[in-house]
Amino acid sequence: MKKFVYVLLVAAMLLATIGTAAAAPNSAVTCDQTYTVTAGDWLSKVADKFLGNVKAYWAIMWATNQKNAEDSSYAKVTNPDALEVGQKLCIPSQADAEAFLKDFDPTSATGLAKLFPQGAKGRLIVASWWTNGGEFAGLNQMFEMFKKQNPDVEIVNAAVAGGAGTNFKGQLLSQLLGGVAPDVFQLHAGWEADTYNPGVLIVPVDDVYKRNNLESVFPATLLAMLKFKDHYWGVPVNIHRSNVLWYNKALLDKAGVTPPTNWDEFFAAADKLKAAGIQPVALGGKDGFELQHTFEDILAGSMTADEYAGLWTGKTSWKSDKVTNALNTFKKYITYANADHDALTWAAATQLLIDGKAAFNIMGDWANGQFVSANFTDYGWAPVPGTKGTFVALSDSFALPAKAPDVANANLWLDLAGSKPAQEAFNKQKGSICARTDCDYSSFNAYLQSAAKDWTVDAIVPSVTHGAAATPSWATKGYADAIVLFATTGDVAAAQAALVQAATDAGFAQ
């Protein structure tokens, strides 16, 4: 029995030497010592014990992950707050740790990427609400491109269904608050970043902009929209336009009406349509954003682009007569709409246009995708009356969670998302235009070509309903609820007071 133990010991020692000998030549990091995690440990405690500095936990995380690439007996630490008992950590020498910490910045994407060994491997978790139709096809195109560039990375598609991310956002937020994160996730560009406590749950991606030179390929107004608290929080992949007036050409011809450019013309046209027995306006409301969407476009059409943008930055007062006019216009607009608008989704309202049951519909340009998939061609589009020269924009971007499991892969994805080939491939499928101004639109459909042209010349202002203009509490509560009530009561004074209050609550005294 004793003999056997000796043999075992010798064998184990031999094996250990072989193991070290094999691993040593490639090693970039040398471990001063190793440490196995026991119950009650956390990384900063270990850092304090061995390196005399609680903040040196980043260095341990870095060294352990480097080691892990060579020797899988070392742990892969993806979340510094979540150690597991039994994980083997590599403690670097004091000098190595200090050298690493000297130029390590935990608040930047490239900084965090340093924590993981170079050379794409492992996984990439992409979270979005793109689950069907063109957007799903577009996402898959991007996946394919990524796979071609990084064949060793396994892509995990963590998509949650639900229009405009209604289900996705709540789920993601609770995950992030709980310290579990995907590598990258979909975020409406602009103020929606505020949902995720920027700087805490998500980190800036300024580095991605710098190394891909994105500031020179995105329009300056878009960059201003993307910048929040002086940083970029997402890489935009596409642009949608909110302020589009769609119309059924056959019905307009039948009533002898031309597409209106201002509200007087619009209501004159609507009266003519009504006289001809045609429903003038198709409107939705069931998904809780259609009314607010329509009103933001009317608002943008009732003032200059600068004034509209100023509503969300405190420069324009909500007490302005122009807001009153917009409310009155919206009230009148609703009287021309189908009575059951609260029961219809935006898609059902668009369907009324396709079926030839209504003439006009204000909706974002995702409606174009529905026209295309229904093989309906007899439609036209114009800016919402009063908004010619203004592009009310929203944009989907990819953001980087602070606790992304594999920041290196996330960075590779963000590089791809900002690139020209990826944007061209994605947007053609999704039915949107590139955030970049240098895309080739020759193979895009007619609507997208016209939108792309406007994108380069129009004044770009943010959409509030789609997360670009204001904090979530202002956009989805203060502003949104005021519009829901107004659409039923028609009380202009009360609605304006509520809108003023909403702006005040958001910190912009009127």
Partner 1 sequence: MSTTPQAIPYTEAAVPKKRWLSRQNWERIVSVVILLPSILALGLFVYVFIGWTGFISLTAWNSAAPDFTFVGMQNYARLFIGSGTDAIRFRYDIRNEVGFLVLFVGGCIVIGFLLATLLDRKIRGEGIFRSIFLFPMAISFIVTGVAWRWILTPGDPNTGWIGVNLLFTNLGLDFLRNGWFTAPTVVYFHPETGVGQLLTNIGLGFLATPDFGYAVAMTSIVVAAGWQMSGYTMALYLAGIRSIPDDLREAARVDGASEWQIYRHVIIPLLRPVTLTVVVILAHIALKIFDLVYSMTGGVSAGFATDVPALNMWKTTFDATKFAQGASIAIILLLMVGVLIIPYLIWQTRSEEH
Contact in structure between 109 and 205 (CB atoms under 8 Å): yes
Query: Among candidates 434, 400, 69, 439, which has minimal Cα distance to 231?
Result: 400
Residues binding partner 1 (CB under 8 A): 166, 169-170, 173-174, 194-197, 200-201, 277-279, 282, 285-288, 338-344, 352, 357-358, 471-473, 476-478, 481-482, 484-485, 487-489, 494, 498, 501-502
**Nearer Cβ to partner 1 (316/361):** 361
The CB-of-77 to partner 1 minimum distance in angstroms stands at: 25
**Nearer Cβ to partner 1 (284/386):** 284
> Which two structure tokens, joined as six digits, stand for 114?
């340093």
CA-based Rg of the chain, rounded to a whole angstrom? 28
**Nearer Cβ to partner 1 (34/167):** 167
Roughly what angle, to the nearest 10 degrees, separates helices 480-489 and 492-505?
Answer: 170
The CB-of-160 to partner 1 minimum distance in angstroms stands at: 13
**Nearer Cβ to partner 1 (158/484):** 484
* CA dist list (Å): 425 to 139, 189, 195, 218, 232: 9, 20, 29, 17, 24
* CA dist list (Å): 63 to 93, 94, 374, 411: 10, 12, 56, 20
The CB-of-305 to partner 1 minimum distance in angstroms stands at: 27
Backbone phi and psi for residue 41, each to the nearest 5 degrees, phi listed first: -85, 145
The CB-of-193 to partner 1 minimum distance in angstroms stands at: 9
Contact in structure between 273 and 261 (CB atoms under 8 Å): no
**Nearer Cβ to partner 1 (197/216):** 197
**Nearer Cβ to partner 1 (346/426):** 346
**Nearer Cβ to partner 1 (223/494):** 494
Q: Indicate the SS3 state at residue 413.
A: helix
Contacts of 165 (CB under 8 A, 6+ apart): 129, 186, 188
The CB-of-81 to partner 1 minimum distance in angstroms stands at: 16
CA angle (146 as vertex; 144, 148 as ends), nearest 5 = 70
The CB-of-61 to partner 1 minimum distance in angstroms stands at: 25
Contact in structure between 444 and 452 (CB atoms under 8 Å): yes
The CB-of-181 to partner 1 minimum distance in angstroms stands at: 15
